[in-house]
């Protein structure tokens, strides 16, 4: 089972803080996706243990990002890639096995959303970001 969380900040520009996020992702065996370089800053974290996700979130909290918001608390990943026939497309579970712990960065919210859709958490992400109720 996988766990995930979503964090919003005002922006992510400090390379020193991004370096600390990379070290924490490696230390806690988390897969992390960052939208850096401007407003808003978005962080998605995923790991096979809830404790790992919570520990990584605490590292982010301690970095004291401006306007830190835990948009979605650490919890079990709900896979949206299930089809009605019961078959699955490539799920986030199988994608996580391919993804190694570490940090990936994107420049745009559109690109971030596309990666969320690929991971099977697009609706969850949109709700966490406040785009839908």
Full-model pTM: 0.87
Structural domains of the chain sorted by starting position, each given as residue range(s) with its CATH number in brackets: 3-78+94-129 (3.30.70)
CB 4 within 8 A of CB 121: yes
Instruction: Tell me, rounded to whole angstroms, the distance of Cα 11 from its chain centroid.
Output: 15
Q: What single DSSP character describes residue 38?
A: S
Q: What is the pLDDT along the chain (133 residues), one digit of tens a residue?
A: 999 999 999 999 999 999 999 999 999 999 999 999 989 999 999 999 999 999 999 999 999 999 999 999 999 998 887 644 444 444 445 454 456 789 999 999 999 999 999 999 999 999 999 999 8
Q: Using CA atoms, how far apart are residues 41 and 51, in angstroms rounded to an integer? A: 23
Chain centroid, CA 10 distance in Å: 16
The whole-angstrom separation of Cα 84 and Cα 92 is 17
Q: Which two tokens stand for residue 72?
A: 């979605």
């Amino acid at each position: 089972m996988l766990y995930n969380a979503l964090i919003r900040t005002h922006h992510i520009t400090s390379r020193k803080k991004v370096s600390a996020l990379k070290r924490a992702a490696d230390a806690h065996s988390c897969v992390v996706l960052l939208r850096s370089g401007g407003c808003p800053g978005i962080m998605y974290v995923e790991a096979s243990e809830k404790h790992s996700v919570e520990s990584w979130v605490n590292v982010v909290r301690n970095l004291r990002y401006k306007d830190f918001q835990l948009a979605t608390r650490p919890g079990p990943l709900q896979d949206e890639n299930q089809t009605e026939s019961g078959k699955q497309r490539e799920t986030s579970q199988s994608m996580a096995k391919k993804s190694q712990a570490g940090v990936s960065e994107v420049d745009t919210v559109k690109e971030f959303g596309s990666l969320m859709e690929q991971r099977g958490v697009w609706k969850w992400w949109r709700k966490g970001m406040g785009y839908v109720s």
